[in-house]
Structure 1
Amino acid sequence: MKTLDVSYEAMGARTARFDDYAGAEREGARADAVRALWGGQLVALMGARNTHGRFAEPRVPSPARACTGYAAWEAGRGSLPYRNPDAMENILCLAGTLRVRFGPDLTHEIRLGRFDMLSIPADVLHEVSCHGADGAKALLLLNGEPDCAYPAVFPGPLPTAVDARELAALNARVEPGRGREVDPDMMAQRVTRFATLVPYKRALNARSAIPAEATEWLTASSVFPLLVPEGHVGRSQDAPLKGGPGLYVAIAECVPDDGPLPHAHFDTQESFFVLDGEWDITWGFEDEYRLPVRAFDLVGVPTGAMRSFRNTGRETARLFVIIQGQERMSDTVVYSPEVGKEVSRRFGPEVVEAFRKVNITFDAERA
């Protein structure tokens, strides 16, 4: 498979720096309306260029079906109750502690600590608030249909500070219904706790007899799948959460000076959101290009480009990996033939074949 050559300029247009967006959208009518409805700051980070409403004008392009936003709350602040009528909302806690109340009467709650994630089905009424004295931050990932405009529905009444024009601009509306009934036990099962995640190298070893050492040599120290589409088959199919088509997410964890070998994804976009530490995102067939990134920076690597990442700090650190594609993405990962030969030499030709069965192949060609 021929790989894609990407310039520094092109990759720069696919990068969102925290220092640039952290102070964005704090003033103006839209920011006032967002604060009145969601209780804090909400920044559109990644999505299709035609995304509307609160995720309009994203800083990084991505395929349809999913969009990503950054949210921040001061102590004691939070959103009004709302629901996403046609999209699942995944809330990843980045800092602080979040309290999510949910259900038609908001009688149930779940608390999220750092790097915990809750996946909320479509049309479930919920509110998100900071539970703690130091504020809280989160990444919000919505997953809907290809033409989803990500509307938000509030049961009302709304603050007088929100006028009809700003409400429409945010693709929000007021309706008297309070969403679907939801089983609190089912919702508790839609939480991934970072402290209890299991890396997929263990699952591949148990299911496909692929040595954990082989997976770790190709990929990161540990990759923890969080959510994959229902029915997805591949290396991450044992993820604890199942969602809709077009999106799966994981946490990659690397010790210092570690990262995967250069590889390409040929039917998905892979994006890296830095959770902590210091990293280099690299690309090119032999990692010719290098982009240093820090906490809460986001880089969207285009389909077909060889890429990698490396922990350049002194402590173990983590990336949140967002993989997006179309209706039935296979997310085939492709390494160079030389890597395949080395896998065969180190671990045996049967391991090369086992990797192929989980959509990891060794036929990338230089652009």
Structure 2
Amino acid sequence: MQEAASEPVPQTSPRASRIARVLLPRWLRVSAPLVLVLLGVAVLLYPVLATQHNNADQQRLASMYTARMEAVGPDLLGQEITSAEEYNTNLESSPILDPWLESQRPDTPRYQDYLRELDVDEVMGRVTIPSIHVDLPIYHGTQPSTLNKGIGHLFGTSLPVGGASTHSVITGHTGLGTATMFDNLVDLSKDDVFYVSVAGRTLRYQVVDIQVVLPTETQSLEEAPGRDLVTLITCTPYGVNSHRLLVTGERVPADPVEAAADAARALPAPMQTWQVAIIWVVVAVLSVVALVLLATLRAALLRRRRLTDGPGPDDQGGGGDGGLDPSPADPSAPLQGGRLPQPPVPERSDLSGSSLPAVKPDVADLAEHERLPMPV
């Protein structure tokens, strides 16, 4: 008697896959890749968002400084300017040190006297460079904590209130990961202008000299007889910081109308090239993720539709309308009532031509017949 063929054994998954399915719930397996992608996008976007936020915050502080100076009143501001000019007159000649290599000593009497000048507000002043969209607050000193939040005035140089035979040095970072600061100072050219506002007084300077020097070469930061100079200093090259970029401006007459137009031109600060590049990378990554999610969703919907609708009319062995029953000769066909399906027996005719009903052989008789000895 022919035995029914056993059903195919489903293939087992690899061991690592089985462990993952046991240890991780389905929702976590599905969402984990998406979460990782989103975390990567957040890491990429953080410097861009932090830089834009800090730039806007520094511009806000600079604008607030000007508003507070207008509210102070001319008498107090005049006293501040007079005191600062006397400080510059009595400034002792001493070597000017690189702001990034030499640490200041805030506990010395001389430094404490310096901090008492232009102290109406925490912010000493404001520097505006229209051509590179810079509008930043100026603070006392060049301590690391100071340069991380804005621009610092170099202790030992003239206070930025103008006057003959004065040379003020204003320093700022380049390459700071969360703020632009003086990153674009390299784009300044001769004859460009910048503005320094201190205690209600706005001074206009025109660029007359641009140098790249070693940190120890500070001779060009000394005072020049009869000249009113301000030097903007930052590290260069970008990311290397082995040298110093010095942009020196000399005071020129200020036109109030032109100054207002330049101040408006300084805002807002545009995105830098590296920020735009990161945004394009993020857009590309999110586009790929969206395409993958759409393809996965489409495949899941198609699979669910097949399971819901069942096999189609063209499926072999479907047993539905239009489907074909399993072939009796197929050894893998299922048993019917414990017996193999039998082929139909044709009707036979007797000698008179009348049709007689077909005699269906009994399976038990066939089995008994198969047990009889065969003739030799």
> Structures share a fold, TM > 0.5?
no
Q: Which has the higher helix share?
A: 2
- Structure number with greater CO (CA < 8 Å, separation at least 6) is 1
Taking structure 2 as the reference length, the TM-score comes to 0.22
Taking structure 1 as the reference length, the TM-score comes to 0.22
Q: Which has the higher strand share?
A: 1
Larger Rg: 2
